[in-house]
Amino acid sequence: MTAADSTEVENCSNGDVFCSTLTVERPTTEDPSPTNTGGSLNYCSSYYLQPDGSYNVDVCDANGNYIQTLNLQPSRPRPQPTQSTVIASAMGALNPPAPTIHTSPAYRSGLLVQTPTWLWLPPSYWRTYSTTIVVWGYVVTIFATPTMVRWKMGNGDSVTCIGPGTPWVPGLGNAFSTCKYTYRHSSDGASGDRYRITATVTFAGSFTTVGLGGMRGPLGAVTRSASVYAPVAEIQGLVV
């Protein structure tokens, strides 16, 4: 399709062939290329995909000075990716952040045997993450929603919790914890006399598209992990 007639381009004379021949070619599934057959104007190097599949092309003069932006339709239809192609691209972009571990007692200060250790992640972490990518020129939005977290306690035991856990605040009893673990033995003899605590969060992925007939669906699960090290000590009795 042609870009515009001369009345739509500022500072463009009626006899300028460029005024009626600027197009956006899309011969491959890669980025489009603006083309023209001559004239005193040029397209700038940037062009921007729009949700309807058109492109905004910046038009410049012979010296590269910006004049205005034209909205153009591709001269060739865009090929449509298959759902498997979209899913493969989406999975590669599904990248939620790693968690931040909290415990009470604080793991840096040391934990105690026979004393419940509260385990949690920040409440703000437990949310749906989203990002947008472009696959063959089509906009794909990807979502990652946490579903559970598995805590490996460093001694061979593990705890699976549905949700981030409850942050400890002074005055809360152990019954209020939604995710906790009690060590039965100290970390003496472990590497560095500490246990490695690892939290692994499982995310359920999904995607939606623009301009692909409403293509949407689930993605495979992804996990993100973080680890800390904690000494675990026996409670020492006082002899009098």
Over 50: is that where the pLDDT of 203 sits? yes
Please give the model's pTM, rounded to 2 decimal places: 0.68
DSSP type of residue 10: T
Query: Mean per-residue pLDDT for 204-215?
Result: 90
C-alpha to C-alpha distance for 86 and 106, rounded to whole angstroms: 43
For residue range 40-82, list pLDDT tens digits in order: 455 565 666 666 667 777 777 667 677 777 777 666 666 788 8
How does the average pLDDT of the chain come out, rounded?
81
C-alpha to C-alpha distance for 208 and 87, rounded to whole angstroms: 10
CA–CA distances in Å: residue 120 to residues 123, 162, 209: 8, 11, 34
